[in-house]
Amino acid sequence: MIITKRSLPRRTFLRGVGATLSLPLLDAMVPALSALSRTAAQPRMRMGFVYVPNGVQLENFRPATAGAGYAMTPILQPLEPYREQMTVLGGLANALANPLDVGSGTHARASAVWLNGVRPKRTEGADIRAGTTIDQFAARTLGEETPLRSLELALEPNFTVGNCEGGYSCVYINTFSWRTPTMPLPMEINPHAVFERLFGAGGDPEARMAQMRRDRSLLDAVSDDMRRLQRALGPRDRATVDGYLDAVRDVERRLQNTLQRADASPAPAMDAPLGIPDTFAEHARLMFDLQVLAYQADITRVVTFQIGRELSTRSYAELGVLESHHDISHHQSDPERMAKNTKINQFHTGLFAEFLGKLRATPDGDGSLLDHSMLLYGGGLGDGDLHHPHDLPLVLAGGGCGQLRGGRHVVCETDTPMMNLGLTLLDKVGVELDSIGDSTGRLTDI
């Protein structure tokens, strides 16, 4: 830890044996050059991309009117508290996910094409190819100053290999983040592994897991450095640090509880890695909370999160939906099945809404993390029953450091390439490209 009379470096860490803890943005990190400079530091933009599979029940997602003052639909209802910091987008498409010359494989194409507008190569082998995704274009710039360039997370196991659909490799549905056209990025599903990646240092995975079983907190490991820091901070910064450490401690506690349940289970599920919470909702909330910590500590500014893989067979018994998500998405206009599909869609947006609430409640400079974030929620299929990669369900949330106008339903011309949105978002983080995939220009009303 480095403390000077002028300011703390923005990249300040608390260090201990086998642990490193980044700090959130503090007033003490603002250069003390003059009275005018004693304001919040230049806010750092965060970007996030949250993917939901198998399309949505569009008539229960899409608002009936464009512009401001639209009525919230059942699927969007959980997001009502964040209306003024979100924009519902309509009319965008990823046409290159269409069948064209290959009838099957729409789910694989929808996932692979979502953030790049590039039709993936149809192959079951190692010669996979798609396109660099907008999260990774952004990470080249936003990740220059952070310990992690980007973070890729998911909730469903991705152990399947070979052909998953229509001759397309399973890689195309196991991730939607591509660093290069031939380098897909694996998505981590184990919260323990994510926590170690964010805060752990030193030792092998077995040693770190043994330490976690001894119930020794990361905060205990950095306690000496933390005490020195607290003595050097003003009241507002101490409150910020206390809130951040409480959030870290809460995540640790939940991870410990999960680990203890896993150790105590007489017959753990063979396909569930150690540390996965018992329920889908617990798992999702924990992964969202880890993202909040990563953003708050400026460990990374770019996160992709796959709530479910295309072709997901997860059932939602807690919602009264015993059928698999993929099966129920093919409702064939049956009212009961459509209602169940809507329940799943609304459940997903509810989890996203809780995440937005955590971001809004987390101070960051002169605003909140939500004020300084640009988050895209949605998926690669519109009508899942028909496998249509058109009229994609998309919500853009956050203040974007003052660059986003919320409170609207923006309807683009039918089948406007989604990569027009991609170019627009990259412009806002200082990444200027002539085109991405099938883009034809930029969106002027975002």
Task: Write down the mean pLDDT value for the chain.
Answer: 86
Average pLDDT over residues 417-426: 98
User: 396: which strand partners?
Assistant: 87, 376
CA distance 311 to 111: 10
For helices 235-264 and 205-213, give the axis angle rounded to 10 degrees: 100
**Across 75-142, where does the E strand assignment appear?**
86-93
Going from N- to C-terminal start, the domains of the chain cover 1-42+211-272, 45-189+276-428
CA distance 254 to 150: 24
Contacts 24+ apart (CB under 8 A), 254-257: 254/282, 254/286, 254/289, 255/191, 255/192, 255/195, 255/212, 255/286, 256/212, 256/215
Angle in degrees, CA 395, 114, 436, rounded to 5: 105
Most confident of 246-255, 267-276, 323-332: 323-332
DSSP-based helix, strand, coil % in the chain, nearest 5? 40, 15, 45
pLDDT (0 to 100) of residue 20: 62
Q: Name the least confident of 75-89, 110-124, 235-249, 295-309.
A: 235-249
Instruction: For the chain, state the CA radius of gyration.
Output: 22
| 75, 377 Cβ separation under 8 angstroms | no
| 88, 70 Cβ separation under 8 angstroms | yes
Give the predicted TM-score (pTM) of the model.
0.84
The dihedral region occupied by 383, where left means phi > 0, alpha psi between -120 and 50, and beta the remainder, is beta
Pairing of strands 151-154, 302-306: parallel
**Residue-wise pLDDT tens digits, 341-366:** 999 999 999 999 999 999 999 999 89
CA distance 159 to 269: 15
CA distance 143 to 158: 26
pLDDT for residue 32 is more than 60? no
Average pLDDT over residues 39-49: 82
Angle in degrees, CA 178, 181, 186, rounded to 5: 30
Model confidence band, residue 333 (pLDDT cutoffs 50, 70, 90)? very high
| 284, 52 Cβ separation under 8 angstroms | no
CA distance 401 to 368: 10
394 token code pair:
């998309």
| 293, 251 Cβ separation under 8 angstroms | yes
437 token code pair:
């995939």
Q: Under 8 Å CB-to-CB from 248, ≥6 apart: which residues?
A: 21, 199, 218, 219, 293
- CATH 3.40.720 given to domain 45-189+276-428: yes
pLDDT for residue 140 is more than 50? yes
Report helix, strand or coil for 80.
helix
Report helix, strand or coil for 66.
coil
218 token code pair:
């990361």
pLDDT (0 to 100) of residue 269: 41
| 302, 149 Cβ separation under 8 angstroms | yes
Model confidence band, residue 199 (pLDDT cutoffs 50, 70, 90)? confident
CA distance 424 to 444: 8
CA distance 83 to 193: 34
